[in-house]
Amino acid sequence: MGDFDGEQKELINKLVNFRMIDGKRTRVRAIVYKTFHRLARTERDVIKLMVDAVDNIKPICEVVKVGVAGTIYDVPGIVARDRQQTLAIRWILA
């Protein structure tokens, strides 16, 4: 499981960072890889499956609060690429 491209490495690192408690990165990384190996028995390319899942649910826009002349309005705004991935991972893990 060591041959990943940049997007896959970034996704795995974010998964590990989301689940990390008290700085136990190695332990969490082992758990993530163990989970991927367990899933790999049924699915051939688990990492690609995870990347596709994140791509499918990441948001394109979100509502942003904007203050104009003392009044706060909800305005739709485009979500940055990093935030899209972060929100998608957060939703999957929730």
Average of per-residue pLDDT values in the chain:
80
d(CA 71, CA 3) in angstroms, rounded, equals: 52
H or E stretch including 36? helix 25-40
According to CATH, the topology of domain 6-93 is: Ribosomal Protein S7 (1.10.455)
Q: Is residue 4 scored above 80 in pLDDT? A: no
What per-residue confidence (pLDDT) applies to 43? 63
| pLDDT single digits (tens) 58-92 | 888 888 888 888 899 998 989 888 888 888 888 88
What per-residue confidence (pLDDT) applies to 42? 66
In the chain, the N- to C-terminal Cα span, in Å, equals 25
Tokens of 5: 């491209």
Cα–Cα distances (Å) from 21 to 17, 26, 29, 45, in that order, read: 9, 11, 12, 28
Strand, helix or coil for residue 64: strand
- Domains of the chain, by residue range, sit at 6-93
